[in-house]
Each structure stands twice: as C-alpha cells, then as structure tokens.
Structure 1
Amino acid sequence: MSNPIVGLTQAGEMLDNRAGNYRIVPSGPAYCAGIVPDDGYEVVRAELHTWMPLDQAFAFIEAHLEGIGRPVQAFCGIELRVPAPLTLGDWSTFNIPYLEQLRRWGLMHENYSGVCRSNIALDLYPPKVTSLCAFSYTVPTKEKVKTFLLAGQADIGSDGKIIAEGDICLEAMRKRTLFTIDTVANTLKKLGVSWQETTRIALFHVHDIPDLWGAEVLGKIGEPIRKGVLVYRARPPIAAAEVELEARAIRQELVLSAR
C-alpha cells in the first residue's frame, strides 16, 4: 500500500492525508495533535456499546469502513481505555504493534502518526485489557459543517517531562490543568479553528483541581463552557501524569454493537 500522507503543506506545519481526505497537525509517533477534514468532508465518531480488546479492534474498524464505502485511510481517531497508567518503558512497548498497524494502513509519515489518539486509565471499573472505546473517520458531506478532532492532551510537555511531576497539591493540579488548556488552545489555532466551534470538551482527572469552573481555569475557554464539560474520574496513560483534556467538533455520532 502506498503512503497516502504525502508530506508537509506549503505552510510547513501540516501533513496531508489525500486518501483519507483530511489534514494533520503532526505531533509524534504515537499520535498526531489534531486533524481537520478537507472541504466536502466531515468527521464521524463511532462509539462502541461494548468495548472491544484492542487486538480485535483493527479488523472491526477496517470492516466498518469497508461496509460504508470508505478507505481505511479515512480512519482519523481512536479512543482507548487502558487497565492502568504505564511506565515510559511499557508505553514504548505498547506502541510497537499499534504503529505497525498504522504503517500497514499507510497512516504514518516517516515517524509521525496521522491519527488522533487518547489512552485513558479509568480510576473506577477499568477494563482488564486495553480496549477500544470509540473511533473516528471522515465521510463525504453536503452539509455546511465544520468538524475537527484533537488527540487527548495530557500534562506532559513536548520535552517528555511531566508538569509538576510528583506533586498533587491543589496548586500543582491547577498548573497541570492550565497546561492542558493552553496546549489544546494552541492546537486549535494550528487547525485554524477555535474553542467556539467545539461541540464537546472532556476532562480526565482524579485529584481535586481548585476553582476548576472559575474564570482562570475552565473559564478561560470562554462562552463554549456553557455547553458543559464531560468529566471522567480517570488519568492519562503515563504514570505520574494526572490531567488530560480532549476537544472536538462532531455533527454525527454513532453507537455501534460488535458483530
């Protein structure tokens, strides 16, 4: 299979997935920062009614896309639930088969993933094995709608260092949260969109965050906060990280049953 991600645009900041009909803000090998569909396309999110072990999920995704007449390269986002946060060593090992699958599907450009991803470690009732919770893909549309997808942003800097590592006091949790908000805002800007256009914001944390709904924390998001925030008692996938934030704009969401 030839690689449909043909490289950087003239702006030098985005990748182009021509076969899948979307553009990508690259981030690293495990996931991209965000994607935005080409004109005439939109993102659809499909949630599984019953989660599926990851080793069965790729065939399910491929069959679903084939069934609706879309190429596998239309796959642009995956949401996973993991049994517990991983050490950095375990994280690297975990990524090996996942990235091999993306390469088979033509969704890697050199060492950059073309797919958004979130890996969430639930604090209550986690799965026994890493499982697929939801996935997203692009489809043609005649609607005048703006959709986009971001990967989950944890409290981990671009240098790989965890923000306020080892500290879960109120001020540290506030610092971690503000970092994720600012990072998501920066990705939105790179995609050419804004908080105003989001349809869903999700926050993952376990420890208390002071004045979470105040003007200087979630209030920084602005008017879209009136739509609410989906909050989970959960952690990012890397041990010692404590906060993760997601944002997306979706018009169509499905609930699928495993066949």
Structure 2
Amino acid sequence: MEGAVLIHNPKGHYHFLQGIDPYSCGVIADPGYEIVNVTLKRPIPWREGFAQIDAYLKAQGCGRTALCAMQLRSPVPFTMEGFIDFNRGYCEVLQEWGLYVEDLNPLARTNVAPLVEPPSVPMLYGFSYVLPCENDAEPTFIIAGAGELLEAALNSEGIVRRGETDRDAIREKATYVVEVMEERLLGLGGSWDAVNRINIYTVHPISELVEDIVLPKLVAGKGHGIHWHVSRPPIVDIEYEMDMRGVQRELYVNFS
C-alpha cells in the first residue's frame, strides 16, 4: 500500500496526500473552506478545458490555486508508455499554472476511457475547486482514482493479476482497490460515513463486488448508492478503478 504523506497546500487552502507526479492520492479542504465538485454537461478537449476552468475560477473570485482535482476521459486505455507521455504534457500545464507545491503535484485526478460513446481525444469531464465556507462545515474531500496497480508505480508488472479477467481475478482486483480507497480516505482524515459519492469504473459486472466488498465499508452512506461508469481504467490491462468524494455541493456546468 501507499503510506502517503499528508501535505499542506497553503495557497490552495487544502491538504493533499502525496502521490506520484501525474496526481496526488486525494485532497481535503482546510477548516473554513470547502471543495466544490463540477461536472461538465458536455466534455471538452482537456487543454481547452484548462482555459475554461481559468475563466470559471476568475468568475467565482478564485485564483488558479483553488483548483484541486481533475476528471478526464480518454478515447481508449493508454499503453503504459503512452500514459506516461500524456502525463508529461498534463503536468507541464499544472507547472505553468504554478500549482506544484515544493515540486509535488497536489491535484487529485481520475482518468478513464468510456466504453460507450468514447471521445475522439482526451477530454475534460469535470474538476473540483476550493471556496471559503462556514467554519463549522463538515470537511470535504476528493479521493483520487485508483486501479489495481500495486504501490501506484507506473509499471505494468505491478498490476494485480495482470491479464486475468475471470471472476476470482476481478474480485481480487476490486478488493485491492477498495483497500486503497480506504487507506487514502483515512490518510486524509476522512471517514466512510462522510463519503457521499462512490464511482466504479469497469466493464465487468459489479453487483457481487458491490454487495460483498464495497457496501460493507459504508456506515451511513448506503442510501447514496454506487455510481457505475461502464469504462476502462486509463492503462491497458487494468480492469477495475474507483474514486470517491464527500462534498456539500455538486454543480453541473456547460462550457460549450
């Protein structure tokens, strides 16, 4: 498991769990601030998305450093080499925006490839940002997407049960991912009863996985349900991905 370190981003008014260069493992708002999640009604190309986010944040009275998480959609899963190459360009934009904290990328991210109506190019699907709020508001957080990749190392040899898609293999993959979600959640200082959105990204059946592996973790959040995106994780041979969040505000915005 990752054993990530919680680091403060004072300019962004949130803490983040150290991840790897393309993304952090998760973010949680500081006291007196909240994370707002935005989903685009229609995804747009990711580079154009940054320009639109910039304008949107300015309209909210926020600077670029308020941006704390990104949701991307890709045409198909990348090869490991292709994923690393894409991340270089993505991280260059974050660095140009001045978002890194002591050479670390603080932004959480999910990037998956929809099976139905996939985009022709990588797209911005959504993002999250930090705003001031009442001091007694419940902490809000984003858990970054994770698949069954051991230690989050960008190495195909670290994929759990690589190349296997039978029932037992998918179950083992899902079990590992739920453990990662829990580790990140607790690492942020969050708890399962504060989670109000759980997303699962896989093309494999999930009913048994949800009943046996995911739902037992939930304390007070079962009524919020589980959101299944029939999508593939961003790297070839990864079969199961999840992300989670606990927020007070979910917005839907049209950028196009």
Superposition TM-score tier, normalisation by shorter sequence: over 0.9
Aligned residue in 1 for 2:204 = 207
Could you list the structure 1 runs, at least 4 aligned residues long, displaced by more than 3 angstroms after superposition.
Answer: none
2: CA distance, partners of 1:123 / 1:140: 37
Which consecutive unaligned segments of at least 5 residues does structure 1 have? 1-11
User: What is the identity, as a one-letter code, of the residue corresponding to 2:80?
Assistant: L
Residue 228, structure 1, aligned to residue 225, structure 2: yes
CA-to-aligned-CA distance 1:34-62 (integer Å, 9 cap, x gap): 11111100000111111110121111111
1:103 to 90, 95, 112: 95
2:59 to 67, 72, 78: 67
Aligned residue in 2 for 1:172 = 169
Alignment map for 1:31-50 (pairs within 5 Å): 31-50=23-42
Pairwise CA RMSD: 1.5
Aligned residue in 2 for 1:147 = 140
Alignment map for 1:1-259 (pairs within 5 Å): 13-142=5-134, 144-158=137-151, 159=153, 160=155, 161-209=158-206, 211-214=208-211, 216-223=212-219, 224-258=221-255
CA-to-aligned-CA distance 1:81-107 (integer Å, 9 cap, x gap): 100000011011101111011111222
Percent identical: 30
2: CA distance, partners of 1:38 / 1:209: 34
CA-to-aligned-CA distance 1:130-185 (integer Å, 9 cap, x gap): 00111000000126222101111111111441111000000000000011100000
User: What is the identity, as a one-letter code, of the residue corresponding to 1:176?
Assistant: K
3-state SS of the aligned residue for 1:109?
coil
1: CA distance, partners of 2:198 / 2:19: 20
User: What is the identity, as a one-letter code, of the residue corresponding to 1:217?
Assistant: I
Aligned residue in 2 for 1:7 = none
3-state SS of the aligned residue for 1:135?
strand
1:42·1:147 contact (CA, 8 Å) conserved in 2? yes
CA-to-aligned-CA distance 1:13-50 (integer Å, 9 cap, x gap): 22211111001101110100011111100000111111
Which consecutive unaligned segments of at least 5 residues does structure 2 have? none
Displacement after TM superposition at 1:250 (Å): 1.1
TM-score (norm 1): 0.91
3-state SS of the aligned residue for 1:66?
helix
Displacement after TM superposition at 1:77 (Å): 0.6
1:46·1:134 contact (CA, 8 Å) conserved in 2? yes
2:42·2:254 contact (CA, 8 Å) conserved in 1? yes
The range that moved more, 221-230 or 63-72, is 221-230
3-state SS of the aligned residue for 2:230?
strand
Greater fraction helix = 2
Distance 1:137 1:210, change over 3 A: closer
3-state SS of the aligned residue for 1:217?
helix
Displacement after TM superposition at 1:243 (Å): 0.4
User: What is the identity, as a one-letter code, of the residue corresponding to 2:57?
Assistant: L
